Amino acid sequence: MLRQFNKAYEDDALKTAVYGASPLGLVVMLYEGAIKAINQAASAIQVGRYDEKARMISKAIDIIDGLRESLDLELHSDAAINLNDLYLYMKQRLSVANLKNDLEVLAEVRNLLETILPAWQLVDRDSMSRSASGASQAL
């Protein structure tokens, strides 16, 4: 019973965070979710829970695909094009990790996400700071 309450609380907390997040904040949350799913997949491989591994890798792939689909490639910006290529590469590598139960490949993709995540966090913080200073100036 306590487990159900904790799960309900986590779901409500997540919904609140998502609804209150900026678009950049959502990107940060998606990166964090993909990293968490990859970590859970690695743990599942280590204990032989291959059904859980497959589910977590699929979740990470879905998140990365969502990030890729949100890119505005019509602008032809180098950043969007490079991110698109990187997301496609990550999806391909995760598929390999899933087929081969390869912890090194999971670590590779996790490291890529963890390398980029701080940049998104910084952009989100800067955006929130500008919004907050703009709102206080309006008062």
CATH architecture of 21-117: Up-down Bundle (1.20)
Distances in whole angstroms, Cα of residue 8 to Cα of each of 1, 62, 102:
11, 23, 33
pTM of the predicted protein model: 0.80
Mean pLDDT of the chain: 86
Residue ranges of domains in the chain: 21-117
Q: Exposed/middle/buried for 5, CB within 10 Å: 0-12, 13-18, 19+?
A: exposed
Query: Greater confidence, 130 or 30?
Result: 30
Structure confidence by residue, pLDDT tens digits, 22-36: 889 999 999 999 999
